[in-house]
Amino acid sequence: MPVTNNTYIIPTLQGNTTFYDWYVKENNEIIAKLNLLQVYSATGGDGILASTNTSGLLSLSIGGTSGVIQSGLTFNGGVSFKGLVNLPNVSYKITGLTSGTSGISFGMPVRITSTGYTAGKANSQAGAETIGIISNLDASGVYVTILGKVDGDFTSVNAGATLSAGCFYFLSPSVTGGITTTEPTTTGQVSKPILLGLGATSGMVLPYRGHYLDSSASGVSGATGLNRIYALIPTASAAQFTVGRAISYNPKLSEQISDDTGSNRVFINGWFLSKSTNSSGIALLSYEDDFVVGLIVGTSTDGLGNTLLEIATNGDVARSSTVGVYYIKTDFDASVDPTNLVSEQPTYPGKIFGIQYAADRFTVVNNPKKASGFLGAAALTTSSSGSGQGENLVVNGDFAIWQRPSTGRDSQYTSTGSLVFADMWRRHDGVSGGSATKSYYIQRQAFADIQSDVEGNPKYYVDIKALGLSGGTGATYGFGKDYLTVGHVIPNAKSLDSQTITFSFYAKCSYSNYSLTSYISRYNGASLIDYNEIEEHGLDTTWTKYVVQYTVPTLPNPGSALANDYFEIGFNFKPLINEANTNSVSLGTNLYASIASVCVYLGSQTLPYDTHKSLQERLNICRKYYYSTYALDQTQGSTTMINTEEPTYNTEHHMVLPNGLCRFLQWPFELRTTPTVTIYSPSTGSANDAYNRSSNRDLRNSSGTIGYGSQNRVARLGVDTLLKDATKYGLKLCVSGGAVDYDNIFYHIVADADYPI
C-alpha cells in the first residue's frame, strides 16, 4: 500500500483480504511511519504572537493577546484591509522642532516656510497657510497631525480654556499659534477652520481651505471695503515700519536718500513713515501730505532677508485706540513716538487720516485735505437762525419701531421697574416702595388716519401712566432720590457736550393741570453720571407742541472709564406723581400722559416742521442694538407660518449637511456689543428651538422620525438641540439634535445688544 502525493491509499477490501492482513499493514507500515513525525515549537517577535497547541497546530497573530503592538511596524509593500480599520489620525514626524523648542506647544497650528516649520496666524494669507496641528512632542522631534482625532491639553493655544464639544475653532488672527471660537471677520484676515471640538481634551483636525477676507468678501465689516497693497523692503532696514503707523511712498526717493534728521526716518526704496507738513526741506518731498499711502496693518518675513508690509489704503481695519478723528502728526520722531497718528480737535493742522469709530474698529479715510478748512468750526457750529434745520438726532421719536411687543406695543404693559420698551426708549423706575404702592402702564396708540393735531401726520404715540404713592411732594431726581423717567438714547455720553440743542415734542394729559419735566442725563453702563433738568411743562388735555432750547453742560469726570455709555433725553414724571399725591389721586385713577413726535436738533432752531428719517433707515440703526428677524408687525415668540408646513419668508434657515451641522451668520450690521441671542421656532413660537421642515415639527419633538438615508432623528431629553456662539459681528448656530443630513431648519433670531439698564 504505497503513500503517494501525501495521501495514503487504502485499497478496497477484497474477498480474499483478511483482517490479519490489515493488522500487519497498520502496525508495521502506517503507524511506524507516523511515529517518525515531530512537532516543533514556534516563537514570535515584538508585535507578533506565535504558539502551538497539543495537536501541533501553529497560530500566528499581530498584536499579541492584548491586541496592542508595542513597537512600530514597517511594510515595504502595500497593505489592504477588507474589514473596518480604526485610524485615529493621519500624522507625520518632523525634525527641527522638539519638545524643548521655545514657543512650540501641543495643539499649535503650524505652517511650512522656506526655512522650516513655524506657528500660523490668521492675520495674513501667508501666515494662515497651516497644514495641521502639533499632536506630540519629544526630544527627537514633533508630530504634525493633518487629519483626524487628537487628544490632549489644548489650553495653551486656546487662551487657557479647554475645548467645547461641537464648537469650531478657527486660526487666531491675533495670537500666533492660537485658536479661537470667534471666526475672523476683519478684512485682510483669513477665516481658517482648524479644529472641531469633540470634548474638553479632544478635537478633530479639519483640512479646510482658508477664506481670505478681501474688499469684496462678505466678512468685511464697516461702511467701506478695504483695499490693500504689499511692499517688500529689506528686513535689516524695516525696524521703523511697525503695525499702526501711517506710511508714504515716493518712487523718486530711493534707499540712497539720507535719513531725515528732523524726524529720524529712513527712506527705503521710496517707502517712508508719514508726516504732515505744508512743505518739506527734503528734495522731491515738497508737500509730504501728497505721498501718504495708508496704514501698516501687518508685517511678515519671507525667509530671504525681506519684510513684507501689508498696507491698508482705505476702509475698515482692526485697531485698538480711543474713539475720535485721527490726523497725521506734524511733529514726529520715528525713534521715540510709537505712532505718527494723533487724535485732536478739528483745528489740528495735520492731514485727516482716519476715524476710530469704536474701541477696536478704525476706518482709513486718507482724506486729501488737511483738517483746517475741512471740518473747521463752522461744520460743528451749535447755532443757526431758523433755516437749515438739520437732522433729527432722535432715531425713534415717533415710536414707529417697537420690536419688543410684550412691553406695551399691542397692549398695556403694567409691570413696574426699569425696562426698555420701544427701541431706543427706556423707563428708569426710581420710585421707592413695592409694586403695591405704584400703578404704571405703557401702551402705544395709533392716530386716526386723518388727524391735524400733530404735524407730519405720525402714525403712533405712546400713553404712559405713572402713579406712586411713596413719591412725596419734595423729592427730586438724583442719586438715591425718587424719580420715574422716560427717555430716548443717543449713543456716547459726550456726544452733545457744550452743544446748544432744540428739543421739541407733542404732549397731552388725561387730566388738566399736571406737569412733566424735560431732562438730559448721562449713563456709564447702568450707573447714572449726571442729571440735568431742562424745563417743566404744564400739560393740557389736548395736543400741544413744546419747543425749548438748551445748552448741554460739559460732562463731569465720571470717576471711571466710560463703558456702555450713552446720552439720554426725555421726561421725568416726578412732577405728575407729586401733583397726584397732593390731590389724593388714587392708584386706580386713569391719569396718564401722552407723548408724540419727539425731536432733537443741533442749534437754536425755529422748527418750521418736525422731521423723521425713513423707517428703514431708522430701523437699521435700531437693529444695531436689538436685532430681530421678526417683522415689525409680528409678535416675538408667535407662530409665523404661511401654512402648516411653510414659514413666512422673513424666517432664517439653513440645510444640515454631512459634517456641517452649523451655520455662520453675519449680522447685516455690526451690533453695539456681543448680544444675548434667543432662537424661536416659527411653527410653535417656542424659545431655544427651531422648526424642522423636513419632519414638520420642532427639533425638540423630532425624535423617532426618519429622514434622508433612513437616518433616525434623535432629540435627547434635557439636552439643547441648538448651540449658539455669538459676537457683535455674527452668530454661529449649530444643530445638535432633532435633525439628520439634508434636513431644512427654520428659525427666528433675536439678538439683544442694548445698553444695560
126, 116, 183: which is closest to 298 by C-alpha?
Answer: 126
Q: How many alpha carbons lie under 13 Å from residue 464 in its C-beta half-sphere?
A: 31
Give residue for cell 420642532.
Answer: 698
* Number of C-beta neighbours around residue 455 at 10 A: 15
Cα of 547 vs its chain's centroid, Å: 42
C-alpha span between 325 and 371 (Å, rounded): 10
C-alpha span between 429 and 390 (Å, rounded): 33
pLDDT at site 535: 92
- DSSP letter for 325, please: E
Three-class DSSP category at 288: helix
Assigned CATH for 405-622: 2.60.120.260
**Higher-scoring residue by pLDDT: 709, 39:** 709
> Is residue 684 predicted with pLDDT exceeding 90?
yes
Sequence letter at residue 261: T
pLDDT at site 387: 40
C-alpha span between 25 and 31 (Å, rounded): 9
Torsion-angle region of 492 (φ positive above 0: left; ψ -120 to 50: alpha; else: beta): left
104, 113, 73: which is closest to 177 by C-alpha?
Answer: 104
pLDDT at site 3: 45
Which band of pLDDT confidence, cut at 50, 70 and 90, is reported for residue 220? Answer: very low
**Higher-scoring residue by pLDDT: 483, 754:** 754
Mean pLDDT of 278-305: 76
- Please give, one letter per residue, the 3-state secondary structure of 208-242: CCCEECCCCCCCCCCCCCCCEEEEEEEHHHCCCCC
Percentage of the chain lying above the pLDDT 70 cut: 82
Q: Are 89-212 and 405-622 the same fold in CATH?
A: no
> Is residue 470 predicted with pLDDT exceeding 80?
no
Instruction: List CB contacts of 188: < 8 A, sequence separation 6 or more.
Output: 123, 124, 213, 214, 226, 228, 297, 298, 310, 312, 317
C-alpha span between 148 and 133 (Å, rounded): 10
**Higher-scoring residue by pLDDT: 506, 1:** 506
- DSSP letter for 89, please: E
Number of H helices, E strands in the chain: 5, 45
C-alpha span between 517 and 533 (Å, rounded): 7
300, 294, 247: which is closest to 123 by C-alpha?
Answer: 300
Task: Of 165-169, 371-375, 400-404, 475-479, give the range with the top mean pLDDT.
Answer: 400-404
Three-class DSSP category at 376: helix
Task: Kindly report the backbone phi and psi dihedral angles of residue 99, in degrees, each rounded to the nearest multiple of 5, phi listed first.
Answer: -65, -15
Would you say 728 and 667 are in contact if contact means Cβ atoms under 8 Å apart? yes
pLDDT at site 547: 92
Which band of pLDDT confidence, cut at 50, 70 and 90, is reported for residue 485? Answer: very high
pLDDT at site 188: 74
Task: Kindly report the backbone phi and psi dihedral angles of residue 42, in degrees, each rounded to the nearest multiple of 5, phi listed first.
Answer: -130, 145
**Higher-scoring residue by pLDDT: 313, 422:** 422
C-alpha span between 505 and 607 (Å, rounded): 11
**Higher-scoring residue by pLDDT: 373, 757:** 757
Three-class DSSP category at 154: coil
pLDDT digits (tens, 9 = 90+) for 146-200: 999 999 999 999 999 999 998 999 999 989 999 999 888 776 788 999 999 999 9
Instruction: Give the pairing of strands 246-249 and 193-199.
Output: unpaired
H or E stretch at 254: none
Cα of 283 vs its chain's centroid, Å: 48
Give residue for cell 505712532.
Answer: 339
Would you say 322 and 356 are in contact if contact means Cβ atoms under 8 Å apart? yes
| Rounded alpha-carbon distances, angstroms, from residue 37 to 31, 34, 664 | 10, 6, 74
pLDDT at site 719: 87
pLDDT at site 432: 77
Stretch among 251-260, 309-318, 648-657, 727-736 having the lowest mean pLDDT: 251-260
pLDDT digits (tens, 9 = 90+) for 325-382: 899 988 888 888 899 999 876 667 788 899 988 888 888 988 765 544 333 332 333 3
* Number of C-beta neighbours around residue 246 at 10 A: 27
39, 326, 721: which is closest to 713 by C-alpha?
Answer: 721
Would you say 480 and 613 are in contact if contact means Cβ atoms under 8 Å apart? no
C-alpha span between 652 and 663 (Å, rounded): 11
Task: Of 12-21, 294-303, 597-606, 700-709, give the range with the top mean pLDDT.
Answer: 700-709
Give 581: exposed, middle or buried? Use CB within 10 Å, 0-12, 13-18, 19+: middle
* Number of C-beta neighbours around residue 277 at 10 A: 22
pLDDT digits (tens, 9 = 90+) for 4-13: 455 555 566 5
pLDDT at site 702: 94
352, 347, 332, 427: which is closest to 380 by C-alpha?
Answer: 347
pLDDT at site 381: 34
**Higher-scoring residue by pLDDT: 714, 212:** 714
**Higher-scoring residue by pLDDT: 469, 572:** 572
C-alpha span between 593 and 158 (Å, rounded): 54
Mean pLDDT of 494-503: 89
> Is residue 383 predicted with pLDDT exceeding 80?
no
Give 67: exposed, middle or buried? Use CB within 10 Å, 0-12, 13-18, 19+: exposed
pLDDT at site 223: 34
Q: How many alpha carbons lie under 13 Å from residue 122 in its C-beta half-sphere?
A: 30
Tell me which fold the domain 89-212 belongs to.
Virus Head Decoration Protein; Chain: A, (2.40.300)
Instruction: Read off the pTM.
Output: 0.52
> Is residue 255 predicted with pLDDT exceeding 60?
no
pLDDT at site 14: 67
Which residues are 665's β-sheet partners? 731
Mean pLDDT of 499-515: 94
| Rounded alpha-carbon distances, angstroms, from residue 483 to 263, 338, 479, 730 | 58, 48, 10, 38
pLDDT digits (tens, 9 = 90+) for 258-281: 546 678 888 888 899 998 876 565
- Mean pLDDT (the chain) is 83
> Is residue 225 predicted with pLDDT exceeding 50?
no
**Higher-scoring residue by pLDDT: 179, 56:** 179
pLDDT digits (tens, 9 = 90+) for 17-36: 777 777 777 777 677 666 76
Angle at 445 between CA 439 and CA 448, to 5 degrees: 145
pLDDT at site 371: 47
* Number of C-beta neighbours around residue 71 at 10 A: 7
Mean pLDDT of 704-730: 92
pLDDT digits (tens, 9 = 90+) for 585-644: 999 999 999 999 999 998 876 665 567 788 888 999 999 999 999 999 899 999 999 999
Domain boundaries, the chain: 3-34, 89-212, 228-378, 405-622, 626-752
Three-class DSSP category at 201: coil
pLDDT digits (tens, 9 = 90+) for 627-657: 999 999 899 999 999 999 999 989 999 999 9
pLDDT at site 318: 83
> Is residue 543 predicted with pLDDT exceeding 80?
yes
